[in-house]
Amino acid sequence: MSVHDLADYPWDAVVPFRELAARHPDGIVDLSVGSPVDPTPEVVRRALAEATDAHAYPQTVGSVALREAIVDWYARRRGVADLTTDNVLPTIGSKEFVALLPTLLGLGPGDVVVHPRVAYPTYEVGARVAGASPMPADDPSDWPEGTKLIWINTPGNPDGRTWTVAELSAAVARARELGAVLASDECYAELGWDGAWASQPVPSVLDPRVTGGSRAGLLSVYSLSKQSNLAGYRAAFVAGCSRIVAGLLTARKHLGLMPPAPVQHAMAVALADDAHVAAQKELYRERRDLLRPAVEAAGFRIDGSEAGLYLWATEGRDAWDTLRSLAELGILVGPGPFYGTSAAQHVRLSLTAPTERVAAAARRLHDAAR
């Protein structure tokens, strides 16, 4: 498939609703795109500044300090204590990795790439760029023969779905039956809200309770964009099967896919500091506690959303009609159809707006419900 055959970038369709929302007397409240608005932590900015004398090419494999920080982070925050630096690799943000993984694995025509039914669209785009066939399916029993790559997303974007240890174990077993790589996109793992996830990260596909003692065929993908407000740094990494990681490293060396050295240093510092992550989570919790009751009072049902950065909401009608109604209140949200054909009546509300703006949205929703 040629990149010229890709559909138009979907967010262009939201522009008229943005313009409508911007006409509200009190201004727009933009809850559409999950781009961080809070400052990058001072400890990370200071680390970046310290590393700006970066005259030599950075290492594609990542600095020793960064790889050790990733290994330590998995042990401390995800309960994965048996990784070595051969199991990890930094990436230039997670989106490029999601988009390129089918290509880097050598997939093409006749190969199936499974992704969630309600999903971040880049899973499908990456399959199509490689010439493979994307297939939306959630239940491992529906994953067909010929599947070479399976994407799961826990916590999910946009729906906040989390996979339990038992569900992850079943997914691993089915992937191994198929001989497929199982890649788990886990970049919202620190943002759990309900039940057990209120006090601990959600399980990783690399959790020893999941792997059965072997990481073969398994990859965990993580980003610092949300937990550390590093979206502008393009700071992410992959961990898992050392054989796959080694192959990805070779391909990425040839392609020149290497995070800048100052970013690698800043990542290592960010991964070692849990305090700023906890503080950021509390900001998102405050916004969520303002927004969720207001959305429900306005007649919406919240589905999933037990973890992650979004509220996944429906009022039981076409998402584009909901988008317009909310835009008339000066609130811009993301349309569910961007995330799959089964999401035609849902909208996504992001927690990445300043608290004052989230409070304004909550007031408008409460007023509209009266």
CATH assignment of the domain containing 296: 3.90.1150.10
CB 127 within 8 A of CB 134: yes
- Which of 254, 273, 292 is the last residue in one of the domains? 273
3-state secondary structure of 184: strand
- Which of 240, 273, 306 is the last residue in one of the domains? 273
User: CB under 8 Å to 245, separation ≥6 — which residues?
Assistant: 86, 87, 88, 89, 219, 238, 239
Query: Alpha-carbon distance 256 to 100, whole Å?
Result: 13
- 370 pLDDT more than 80: no
Query: Alpha-carbon distance 265 to 90, whole Å?
Result: 11
Write down the pTM of the prediction: 0.94
Closest by Cα among 323, 358, 312, 310 to 14: 323
> What mean pLDDT is predicted for residues 13-17?
92
Report the DSSP pairing between strands 133-136 and 218-223.
Answer: unpaired
Query: Alpha-carbon distance 118 to 347, whole Å?
Result: 12
Query: Alpha-carbon distance 321 to 303, whole Å?
Result: 19
Taking residue 285's Cβ as centre, other Cβ atoms within 10 Å add up to 14
The alpha carbon torsion through 120, 123, 129, 133 (nearest 10 deg) reads -120
Domain region containing 346: 3-39+276-369
Report the DSSP pairing between strands 181-185 and 147-153.
Answer: parallel
User: CB under 8 Å to 348, separation ≥6 — which residues?
Assistant: 32, 158, 310, 311, 312, 313, 333, 334, 335, 336, 339
| The pLDDT value given to residue 195 | 81
One domain for residues 69 and 163 = yes
Reading the block at residue 53, the tokens are: 């004398």
One domain for residues 12 and 60 = no
Reading the block at residue 298, the tokens are: 């306005």
One domain for residues 361 and 305 = yes
One domain for residues 164 and 307 = no
Cis? peptide before 158, omega within 30° of 0:
yes
| DSSP H stretches of helix in the chain | 15-22, 42-50, 64-77, 94-104, 122-130, 165-178, 208-211, 242-255, 261-272, 275-297, 319-328, 355-369
Instruction: Calculate the average pLDDT of the chain.
Output: 95
| The pLDDT value given to residue 8 | 63
One domain for residues 198 and 155 = yes
CB 182 within 8 A of CB 150: yes
Q: What's the CATH number where 123 sits? A: 3.40.640.10
Element (H, E) at 91: strand 88-92
Query: Alpha-carbon distance 248 to 91, whole Å?
Result: 10
One domain for residues 74 and 155 = yes
pLDDT band (50, 70, 90) for residue 257: very high
| The pLDDT value given to residue 306 | 95
CB 204 within 8 A of CB 74: yes
Burial 177-195 (b: 16+ CB within 10 A, else e): ebebbbbbbbbbbbbbbee
One domain for residues 185 and 283 = no
pLDDT tens digits for range 62-89: 999 999 999 999 999 999 999 999 999 9
One domain for residues 99 and 227 = yes
One domain for residues 110 and 94 = yes
Reading the block at residue 118, the tokens are: 């309600």
Q: Angle CA(100)–CA(88)–CA(109) in degrees, nearest 5?
A: 25
Closest by Cα among 313, 306, 354 to 163: 306
> What mean pLDDT is predicted for residues 128-133?
97
One domain for residues 256 and 237 = yes
> What mean pLDDT is predicted for residues 309-319?
97
pLDDT tens digits for range 338-360: 999 999 999 999 999 999 999 99
| The pLDDT value given to residue 198 | 81
Closest by Cα among 84, 86, 70, 95 to 244: 86
One domain for residues 30 and 148 = no
pLDDT tens digits for range 196-216: 888 778 999 999 999 999 999
- Which of 222, 243, 273 is the last residue in one of the domains? 273
Give the number of domains in the chain: 2
One domain for residues 49 and 128 = yes
